[in-house]
Amino acid sequence: MESTSLFPHFSFWPQLTSAQQTKLLSHTNTQSLPKGSLLHSGNADCMGVLLVQEGSLRVYLLSEDGREVTLYRLRQGELCMLSASCVLEAITFDIFIEAETPVTISRINAAVFQQIMEENIYLKAFSYQLIAERFSDVMWRMQQILFLGIDRRLACFLLEESASVQSPQIHLTQEQLAKHLGTAREVVSRMLKYFVEENMVTLFRGGVTITDEEKLRRLAQPSF
């Protein structure tokens, strides 16, 4: 899928002039990358705004001791502004972006995007709204890490992932689950064993199947 077919779906697109639309498209390059590719690493140079054409990207933080915490994920038709810190200078923390699946992405030149954003209030408003939404995602993730036990965090994640893929089958390994939750694989393994014993999930090679969604939901959101 080409970027030209995705841009018109964004609310700012009809508000750009023909010249601005042409300039944005002419400074957008599309490429395909295999699963596991690292697109952005911490203090890397500003790489531009990313548009996911196909597949999924994972945006995460990496601690000094190598522990990863997933902030959010990007799927088809979604833009990533945090990869263009030079566009929004207030964004100063280091993030990592990897291809969670084989992906096709479009890179929008950061300088061109910034220029059009300064010229066009609709693109600027869209960009800051997108940043605000991502910040909300990050705060939700941090809230879970700081205030929820690993059992509730894992239950929440499994329910979110199931809703996202619209299936009770979640094709993520225990190592991948641990990375998303910012914990050790052994911790996830022990907690999944407990979930199995409580008949909330079953395990298969490379994934988890939710067997009792209601019970898992009660664990994730206990009543007071």
* Digit-coded pLDDT (tens) for 8-52: 889 999 999 999 999 999 999 999 999 989 888 766 567 788 899
Residues 128 and 163 in one domain: no
Q: Domain ends where: 95, 119, 146?
A: 146
Query: Is pLDDT at 221 greater than 50 in this prediction?
Result: yes
Q: What pLDDT, on the 0 to 100 scale, is given for residue 68?
A: 81
Residues 12 and 106 in one domain: yes
Task: Give kind and range of the element (H or E) at residue 39.
Answer: strand 38-42
Report pLDDT digits (tens) over 153-200. 999 999 999 998 899 999 999 999 998 888 889 999 999 999 999 999
Residues 141 and 183 in one domain: no
Distance CA 83, CA 105 (A): 13
90-to-81, 85, 87, 95, 180 alpha-carbon distances in Å: 12, 8, 9, 14, 26
Residues 13 and 120 in one domain: yes
153: domain CATH number is 1.10.10.10
Q: Domain ends where: 121, 146, 171?
A: 146
Residues 157 and 139 in one domain: no
Best CA proximity match to 69, nearest among 183, 182, 188, 184: 182
β-strands 95-99, 28-33 pairing: unpaired
Residues 122 and 156 in one domain: no
Please give the residue range of the domain that contains residue 85: 3-146
pLDDT band at 210 (very low <50, low <70, confident <90, very high): very high
Q: Domain ends where: 130, 146, 162?
A: 146
Q: What is the mean pLDDT of the chain?
A: 86
Q: How far is CA 175 from the centre of its chain?
A: 17
Query: Is pLDDT at 98 greater than 80 in this prediction?
Result: yes
Residues 50 and 137 in one domain: yes
How many other CB atoms sit within 10 Å of the CB of residue 5?
10
How many other CB atoms sit within 10 Å of the CB of residue 45?
9
Residues 118 and 212 in one domain: no
Which DSSP symbol is given to 14?
G
Taking the CA atoms of residue 182, residue 83, residue 170 and residue 213 in that order, the dihedral angle to the nearest 10 degrees is 70
How many other CB atoms sit within 10 Å of the CB of residue 108?
23
Q: What pLDDT, on the 0 to 100 scale, is given for residue 88?
A: 62
Residues 152 and 164 in one domain: yes
Question: How many domains does the chain fold into?
Answer: 2
Distance CA 8, CA 146 (A): 39
Residues 187 and 216 in one domain: yes
66: domain CATH number is 2.60.120.10
Q: Measure CA of the first residue to CA of the last residue in the chain; give whole Å.
A: 48
Query: Is pLDDT at 145 greater than 80 in this prediction?
Result: no
Residues 48 and 156 in one domain: no
Residues 131 and 57 in one domain: yes
Report pLDDT digits (tens) over 79-91. 888 776 666 665 5
